[in-house]
Amino acid sequence: MNVIGHGKQVIKERVLDSITAKKAVKKNRQIPISARVARECIGIAYGFFSPLNGFMDIKTLNSVCQKMKLLDGTLWPIPILLDISKDEIDKNNLRVGDQIILSYQKEPLAVLDVEEIYLYDKQKIAQAVLGTSDEKHPGVKMLDKWNDYFIAGPIQLISEPQFQPPFDRFWYTPLQLRKIFEEKGWEHVVAHQTRNVPHTGHEWLMKGAWFSANEDISIERIKTGILVSCIIGPKRVGDYIDEAIILGQQQLNESRYFRNDIHMTSFVLWDMRYAGPKEALLHAIIRSNLGCTHHMFGRDHAGVGSYYDPYDAHRIFDEVPEGKLNIKPVRILEWWYCPICQEVTYSGLCGHTNERQNFSGTMIRSIIQDKVQPTSLLMRPEVFQTMMHSAEKYGFGSPFCSEEYLKKRQPVFRLSATS
């Protein structure tokens, strides 16, 4: 089993023991951080972003923006940054060489050794990473909200996040996942990234990718698995609620549309930048750190509006130099329903191009919005039931995020007090 991570580094977790953590908290100033920075601290500490050990300095940031590389030449497409306001710097008299505690929801989360404090033009980041500075792009909107200064330095986690139900049973660190893959005997693992409750088009996308990854099929033993890796991050009104996504995905397993021994559901904390091709590369890097050998990329992966060609996220992998990425992209065209074939079929196979009925997320959404169960050709009835159950239990009656959900939802994780 290959346990070498992205950049050929073995993953090292960055979590302090409780005695050292308590000492650090006692000694140092606390600086509040945003939810995004908190999620990224957790990502760094457990090795989702390996080989990063902290937030980027200005040299690394320039290199990532201009060359898509870390300073040692490791492929890296999107900057991981800790933004801070001038006020916060001045108020705390922050200097290079300080050690600070990053606190989230008033609890200490991580300790950071300040190596650099710098000002950077966020427009330049937007242009380099997103290819636009159009303020309508959600990634540009996100950057606009960040503070103008940045702190660089390595971090170590003080408090391990306590994931709340229903997320707790789907939380696996990269080291845990690699161990599980080994125990399951999965030599190939194909990652499915999602922010959706699955319709049958998604199910077939996974099935097609599984066939692609299952190159050396043996009748003795199945050696290929699917890792559903849901993205859990900030939500907008109208998105599916996180609970429905993760439980809906798992339902495909519980109802045995996927055998339990070839499929598992997990999640990654990440704030989507909608950077299209560059974000596809980052998703591949994260999943290679999880121990996946393949990653499926459908149409318009991590895209938004018409900023990127729907297949840019496929093409960018052609530009990656040999040996720079430890995961193979499985590039997938479209699955649709064909009334002549009378089944869900694939654009690369079915020639009834004029008859095709595309899976329209918007159409399925509008059916569900009216609380009508879509035909089983569109969505498995068990998935629909699970989604509606999640809506009652977690979504204030709706499987889609409402203002009420955004305000009152249960947090995904809590931090336990250490002091």
Per CB under 5 A, residues contacting Zn ion are 338, 340-341, 350, 352
Q: How many CB atoms lie within 10 A of CB 98?
A: 18
Query: Could you tell me where the beta strands, DSSP code E, fall in 72-220?
Result: 82-84, 99-104, 107-113, 116-119, 149-157, 162-163, 188-194
Q: Give least dist CB 335 to Zn ion, A.
A: 12
The helix or strand, by DSSP H or E, that contains position 264, with its residue range, turns out to be strand 263-269
406-411: long-range contacts, CB 8 A cutoff, minimum separation 24: 406/235, 406/237, 409/241, 410/164, 411/105, 411/164
CB 257 within 8 A of CB 384: no
Instruction: Give me the least distance between CB of 359 and Zn ion, in Å please.
Output: 15
From the CB of 336, what's the least distance to Zn ion, in Å?
A: 9
Choose between 58 and 341: whose C-beta lies nearer to Zn ion: 341
Nearest residue (CB) to Zn ion, 103 versus 345: 345
Q: Which residue is nearest to Zn ion (CB)?
A: 338
Q: Shortest gap between Cβ of 362 and Zn ion (angstroms)?
A: 23
Find the shortest distance in angstroms from Cβ 410 to Zn ion: 44
CB atoms within 10 A of CB 137: 20
Which helix (H) or strand (E) is 344 found in, with range?
Answer: strand 343-346
Q: What amino acid occupies position 45?
A: A
Nearest CB to Zn ion, comparing residues 110 and 338: 338
Select 333 or 367, whichever has its Cβ closest to Zn ion.
333
Sequence-ordered alpha helix ranges (H) in 191-276: 200-213, 242-254
In the complex, the smallest distance separating the C-beta of residue 67 from Zn ion, rounded to whole angstroms, is: 45
Cβ proximity to Zn ion: between 2 and 375 the closer is: 375
Please report which residue ranges of 185-340 form alpha helices under DSSP H: 200-213, 242-254, 277-289, 312-315
Of the pair 330, 338, the CB lying nearest Zn ion is at: 338
CB of 345 to Zn ion, least distance (A): 5
Question: Which residues lie below 8 Å from residue 395, measured CB to CB, with a gap of 6+?
Answer: 241, 243, 244, 401, 402, 405
Residue 168, helix vs strand vs coil: helix
Pick the closer one to Zn ion by CB: 3 or 340.
340
- 263-269 and 294-297 as β-strands: parallel, antiparallel, unpaired? unpaired
